[in-house]
Amino acid sequence: MMLNPYFFREHPNFLSEPVIDAASRYCDHLISSTDHVWTTNFGWQNAQGTDLMHPKAERYENLVLVHKIYNSNRALYDNILKDIKKVYPTWSPETVESMQFFVWTGGSRIEWHKDFKRDDPTSTRIGAITIYLNRNWEIEWGGDFLYKDKESKVNRITPAYNKAVALTDVKHRSTTIQERRFRKCIQIFLKEDAPTLDNDTNFC
């Protein structure tokens, strides 16, 4: 099944408390680790500076740390999927292209783009879910999520602990993170054959 062409939903308190707490603590553990557990956004671009993850997005201004959860903590990965299935009953592991921690450092941002690769015949990506992990986040620290609705009106969401944003064919961006701040999130990309998301369904 394909996702609806345009779908956007904001979820407060998305994951169960034990799972969001475990995810937040594990991400903090990885940040403080002396092992080489992270890749970066710099690997997303080719030699011409084109962003491989978001080919039409502008180059990022600063470092974004990336860690694949499946590779290091399968129990956490499975528990996140179980919680998502409570919200989206047709969910299955096969719908996940990737699930990663993203840590956006001071100065990092991403410009307008879509996670729906309609124009790329080699990609099966059709949407994404972002789950915020910072227990405290002030609006003046930046990192807001901006998106355009069906009428192209720009809307703003400020990151909040355990808030999730699910979307398909929606243009969006993130504003610049203030220096000495780290915005943490779980980033899940969805692939073709993901469950149908119905705008009329009560997800909260």
Task: List, for residues 131-188, the tens digit of each pLDDT value.
Answer: 999 999 999 999 999 999 989 999 999 999 999 999 887 888 899 999 889 999 999 9
Domains and their CATH numbers in the chain: 8-191 (2.60.120.620)
Residue 192's pLDDT band (boundaries 50, 70, 90)?
confident
Could you give the angle at which helices 17-32 and 74-87 cross, rounded to 10 degrees? 140
Number of H helices, E strands in the chain: 3, 11
pTM here is 0.83
Residue 113's pLDDT band (boundaries 50, 70, 90)?
confident
Beta-sheet strand order (sheet of 183-191): 8-11, 164-167, 125-132, 183-191, 96-104, 64-68, 39-40
